[in-house]
Amino acid sequence: MIVDGHNDLVARRWRGDEVRHVDLDAAGEADFAGGFFALFVPSPRPGEPLPGPSYALPLPEPIPTEEAARIAEELYDVFRALPVELATGPEDFRPGRVAAILHLEGAEPLAPDLSTLEPWYERGLRSLGLVWSRANAFAEGVPFRFPSSPDTGPGLTAAGRELVRACNGLGILVDLSHLNEAGFWDVARLSSAPLVATHSSAHALCPSTRNLTDAQLDAVGASGGVVGINFAVSFLREDGRPDEATPLEQIVRHVEYVAGRIGIDHVAFGSDFDGAAVPQELGGIAGLPKLVAALRAAGFGDEAVAKVTHRNWLRVLGDTWRPRG
């Protein structure tokens, strides 16, 4: 069974774009049991990284709360129309069906006074990314730069700190992917839940702003959290190039690195399907068995494969979704 940390199927369907990776009809044969389905309020596209040795893409301007809330309602309608089960507990993930965690990728749709957070929770929200890279009322994210440190700006705002505490209180997972390093450490100090990055990779192997440094990885492991390895080729490759001819072994080496640094209990899949260019050899959901085979070829045994493909996610979800004081 495979549980995945991130996909952008909802935004792709909302835009009317062709679905490239998340073919739900292929889920059964691929043992895909679902995972985090993002509601992402898009900005104008920031562009694609250039094929040269470095890049720095400017971030879009912040989106006003009212506009983001309106678009999030439309995205929610698309989400609820999908042929999936809403996941609000780890037991909702079972072989033979697809369960979806309702995830806000960027907190822009929430009122800064948090008056709309509990209504979203009642609708099924169980995971929240404080930012999608662009700044908002709660935090600042990382711009898309290579090579670069994720230490690119200030930490959480006062509203952001209150949002973390409120998510802990309700039992909503706080996702650290897209958050800058100062914000990461603010969450690490504040949160009583395991630290989770749903779709990030190892900065030591690919020095993109979107990847986690060794110190950040260590903090995730020490908290009992999980890193979902992002399959985006520009976050996998040592040269940062958006080359879809990238082999599956590039994903495996990030899994190996994180497992070697903080333990096999703290690494999982975080594909970024339908939100990024992934290895052509993988293709999408239908190719996931090839990735599992590549893990086995690299020496991962049955227990390790089970942890990476689903058990680590189910463990951290069970721990995180318990309300905390």
Domain ranges of the chain: 2-320
Measured distance CA(128)–CA(149) in Å, rounded? 23
Beta bridge partners of 35: 4, 100
Measured distance CA(20)–CA(1) in Å, rounded? 21
pLDDT computed for residue 166 by the predictor: 98
Q: Which of 262, 236, 258 is nearest to 249 (CA)?
A: 236
Cα of first residue to Cα of last residue in the chain, in angstroms, is 33
Residue entry with tokens 């006074």: 113
Would the pLDDT of 325 be above 70?
no
Decide: pTM greater than 0.85. yes
Residue-wise pLDDT tens digits, 84-138: 999 999 999 999 999 999 999 999 999 999 999 999 999 999 999 999 999 999 9
Task: For strands 267-269 and 99-105, give the pairing.
Answer: unpaired
pLDDT computed for residue 53 by the predictor: 76
Fold of 2-320: TIM Barrel (3.20.20)
Q: How confident is the model at residue 58 (pLDDT cuts 50, 70, 90)?
A: confident
Q: How confident is the model at residue 296 (pLDDT cuts 50, 70, 90)?
A: very high
